[in-house]
Structure 1
Amino acid sequence: MALNYTEIVRTGLSRQVAESIRAAILDGRLQVDDRLPSEDELARRFGVSRPTVREALKVLAAQNLIWSRRGPTGGNFVSQPDPEGMSRAITDAATLLVAVGVFNVDEMVNARLETESLCCRLAASNHSAADIAAMQAEIDLQQNASLSDEDYCASDVRFHRALVAATANGPMRLMMYAVIESFIPISNMLIFPHHERARATASHQNILNAIAAREGETAAQLMRGHLEGMRSELTGALDRRAAGRAPDSQSKTDMSKGSQP
């Protein structure tokens, strides 16, 4: 067993055990489907109690790093990595960072400008007929004037998700997960109902046409124009929010002045 059993101090024991096993998985000392030692054996080698080991294993299971099987041939085994599960964790973290103001609007738009332009180039080279059909289906839906804002936003996310899928590039799909599942919904939440849906839908169609024609650079430039337009809408939405708060602040100031002798 290629685990280091000596680097455990007496604080945060379960976390340290989990980190030690996690490090062995990430650097390849433990391979997919390798069976971990029993809880008793891990407790003995790490010099901790079985409940401490059990808590560490729960942490690793929650991170989708191990799975368990009951029975005579059971135990805890190293999991096959789950890109979608890891992507969800990235998305949750990104959403939280945006919510508390760590990422601002310009940062989100700039990130999308660079990454989605690259996605357009890759999609133009690598797309399948099914990818084109998936994006076109969303555009057709977006052209329905009776579509609610919520449903339009959901379709917008699916369009960009399909565009990323069309890159046929696994690492790109992983990296783009937070952009698609976090940044786009947050942006949509800010700009609707002031969003010009017809213009956005037309932009989607133009981008798709260029991708379908395998004109990657044209698609990338169209995407940049689409996102720069969104930047203007986001700035306007934030300005409207600020203006909406200003009268309250002013009235409070006036009330404060009026209450002075």
Structure 2
Amino acid sequence: MPAERDMAEMFGISRQSVREALRGLEMSGLVESRPGVTGGVFIREGDPSVVTRAVNDLVSLGALSSESLFEARVMLTTDVIRLAAIRATEEDLQKMEDDIVAFDQQATPIPGEQRTVRVTNFYSLLAAASHNEVLVMLMNSLTEIVQARLNKFGPDPLTDVTRMRRRFVKHLRAGDVDKASSDMEAHLKRVENRLAEKEKKALAN
């Protein structure tokens, strides 16, 4: 896992809070601390959904703000894109393109929660293209939190998702990390702004 300092900056909390969270995860058997020059905190093999539940619990308790989650998601996605640009196979890229086509050609309307899962599947495929199981786990965790927020306030999807993703995969195929990252960050920002507006209205009512 990243160093305590990096995680503190990523989530906008103190290093002491990160340390306490890691201690709790270690007590739960989710991570282990290894001493030495090559040591650090490592995720143990097991059920990846446990990590998702842990992060969701922190969100539910208000320990993690939506702003911090968004920043972490952008940073994580950017790192995933950089690795995917190097490691993605033709099969990985084809899966992303097939997912775009399948979603665009969906014949019948999908119920809200099912549509949310369907539209966010793209991020799982992108993470898989990094061929880094830790990044896959973290990406899926943050994506599930976004799914929960979307379901809570209504999916109300953006209309240009298909076009943006096609352009994104084109940049990824060309190895243009900067353009791919820029397009994705702009899209994630639009989604976050939409969610923030809905959350603000919900609090006002």
TM-score w.r.t. the length of structure 2 is 0.71
- Is the 1:98–1:104 Cα contact (8 Å) retained in structure 2? yes
Which of residues 125, 129, 136 is equivalent to 1:173?
136
Counterpart-to-counterpart distance in 1, 2:184 and 2:52: 22
Unpaired segments ≥5 residues, structure 2: 1-26, 36-43
Alignment partner of 1:192 is 2:149: no
Report the 3-state secondary structure (helix = DSSP H, G, I; strand = E; otherwise coil) of the residue aligned with 2:64: coil
Unpaired segments ≥5 residues, structure 1: 1-18, 29-80, 246-261
Identity among equivalent positions (%) equals: 19
Partner of 2:5: none
Counterpart-to-counterpart distance in 2, 1:101 and 1:145: 39
Q: CA deviation at 1:183?
A: 2.2
Partner of 2:7: none
Opposite residue 160 of structure 2, the aligned amino acid is R
Give 4+ residue runs of structure 1 displaced > 6 Å after superposition: none
Q: CA deviation at 1:117?
A: 1.4
Counterpart-to-counterpart distance in 2, 1:239 and 1:137: 36
**Residue deviations 1:59-90 (CA, integer Å, cap 9, x gap):** xxxxxxxxxxxxxxxxxxxxxx535x1x2111
Alignment partner of 1:110 is 2:71: yes
**Residue deviations 1:92-149 (CA, integer Å, cap 9, x gap):** 1111111222222211111111110121121111101111122122212221363313
Number of matched residues?
166
Alignment partner of 1:99 is 2:60: yes
Which of residues 176, 198, 205 is equivalent to 2:166?
205
- Aligned in 2, Cα 1:174/1:150: closer, same or farther, shift over 3 Å? closer
- Aligned in 2, Cα 1:96/1:208: closer, same or farther, shift over 3 Å? same
Q: CA deviation at 1:164?
A: 0.5
- Is the 1:190–1:238 Cα contact (8 Å) retained in structure 2? no
Opposite residue 130 of structure 2, the aligned amino acid is T
Partner of 2:100: 139
TM-score w.r.t. the length of structure 1 is 0.57
**Residue deviations 1:183-229 (CA, integer Å, cap 9, x gap):** 23123224534332x22232222222211222111111111101111
Alignment partner of 1:183 is 2:183: no
What are the within-5 Å matches in structure 2 for residues 1-261 of structure 1? Answer: 82-83=45-46, 85=47, 87-143=48-104, 144=106, 146-148=108-110, 149-180=112-143, 182-196=144-158, 198-243=159-204, 245=205
Report the 3-state secondary structure (helix = DSSP H, G, I; strand = E; otherwise coil) of the residue aligned with 1:194: coil
User: Whose radius of gyration is greater, 1 or 2?
Assistant: 1
Counterpart-to-counterpart distance in 1, 2:96 and 2:195: 24
